[in-house]
Amino acid sequence: MQELAQEIQRRKTKEVFVGKVGVGSAHPISIQSMTFSKTHDVKATLAQIDRLYYAGADIVRVSVPHKEDALALDKICASSPLSVVADIHFHHKLALIAAQSVDCIRINPGNIGSHARIKEVVNACKARNIPIRIGVNGGSLEKKIENKYGLSPRAMCESAMYHIKLLEDLDFTDIKVSLKTSDALMTTRAYEMLAQMMPYPLHLGVTEAGTTFGASIKSSAALGALLMQGIGDTMRVSITGELEEEIRVAKELLRALGIRKTGVNLISCPTCARLESDLVSAIKEVENLTKDITKPLDIAVMGCVVNALGEAKHADLAIAFGKNEGMIIKKGVLISKEKEQNLIARFKQELEKLL
Ligand code: SF4
């Protein structure tokens, strides 16, 4: 049997730049999220952008439903540590204002009216050298396409190709595309199909995915399947919940696939009858101690010594609990035996040495 390739081969895609963030196969897969403040409330929006920045996001999208929101973008972009995408539906005038300051516009050209309007928006983006993200959503397909194919991967792709052609006809190719539905399988199939049809980078996401538990599973299933095929250049894990959760899950998914090599890979045993300690609390403590580390490290927390030396031997640092005591293991070598109450403190000392 042919040995499986260890590294995921990315699908070759065109390069676009969202501010300083390169998007395309020549660049790392970037992580995005969205603010939910009223965009015209500059202070609140910047506070949310800061939270996303510190959580590790690369790009932020803000909704621009009204003129006052578009007019606030200037100030937001001037202070944002992240590249900013303006999310606009239908209103070409809002797109024209936004294009003066943001790093990318998310708009579907087929939805903004006349050819002259599309041209105006395209010219505004060309003038500042910013890309357009076409965002096809299963809930708002063009009627003609939906009547022909129903809600299906084919319909999503037809819609995307329709919008792409409108831009290409105006000699505009700084394009990235998303194809979102709330159905993991349909979303996966749609991206797979579109990846065969055009060269532009893909923004991956499952929309309206739910709360942290369900959304993480749904997004991991769909995005994981795509990323393993090398499909996807930027991504959002949509979660109804805290802003930081989206970034945390996205980072963990990329880390699980070996795509992002930064940060801590936490290995913990599932526990069994051999467990003699409060492992769940210990893992929470370790997780908390390691959550902001950017150096790539494998850290293991094991419930007993039976499997610790074997299963954690590749970890940079491991704790193995026993009855009222435990061991600290570094790269498979036992370096210290401690009373249970001292284990975390000793672990912390060794962790600091590694950093
Ligand atoms: Fe059970 Fe020990 Fe394995 Fe944890 S490490 S699952 S406690 S045998």
pLDDT in tens, 65-89: 999 999 999 999 999 999 999 999 9
Q: Ligand 1 in contact with 272 (CB < 6 A)?
A: yes
How far from 281 is each of 93, 226, 301, CA to CA, in Å?
54, 34, 11
268 Cα: distance to centroid of ligand 1 (angstroms) = 9
Closest CA to 216 of 237, 198, 233: 237
Atom of ligand 1 nearest to the CA of 269: 4
CA distance 127 to 125: 5
Largest CA distance in the chain: 75
The pick from 267, 275, 301 for probing ligand 1's pocket by mutation, whose C-beta has the most ligand atoms within 8 angstroms, reads: 275
Q: Ligand 1 in contact with 3 (CB < 6 A)?
A: no
Q: The tokens of 346 are what?
A: 């000793």
Give 199-252 pLDDT, tens digit per residue.
999 999 998 768 889 999 999 999 999 999 999 999 999 999 889 999 999 999
Strands 175-180 and 202-204, how do they pair? parallel
Average pLDDT over residues 31-48: 97
| Confidence band, pLDDT 50/70/90 cuts, at residue 1 | very low
Give 247-301 pLDDT, tens digit per residue.
999 999 999 998 988 888 888 888 888 888 888 888 999 999 998 888 999 999 9
The pick from 268, 274, 280, 283 for probing ligand 1's pocket by mutation, whose C-beta has the most ligand atoms within 8 angstroms, reads: 274
Q: Ligand 1 in contact with 270 (CB < 6 A)?
A: yes
Atom of ligand 1 nearest to the CA of 305: 2
Closest CA to 219 of 234, 203, 239: 239
The sign one gets for the Cα dihedral 13, 14, 19, 22 is positive
Q: Ligand 1 in contact with 304 (CB < 6 A)?
A: yes
> Residues 6 or more apart from 205 whose CB is under 8 A from it?
178, 180, 187, 219, 223, 235, 236, 237, 238
Closest CA to 209 of 195, 220, 193: 220
The pLDDT, as a whole number, for residue 238 is 92
Q: Ligand 1 in contact with 276 (CB < 6 A)?
A: no
213 Cα: distance to centroid of ligand 1 (angstroms) = 25
CA distance 237 to 321: 35
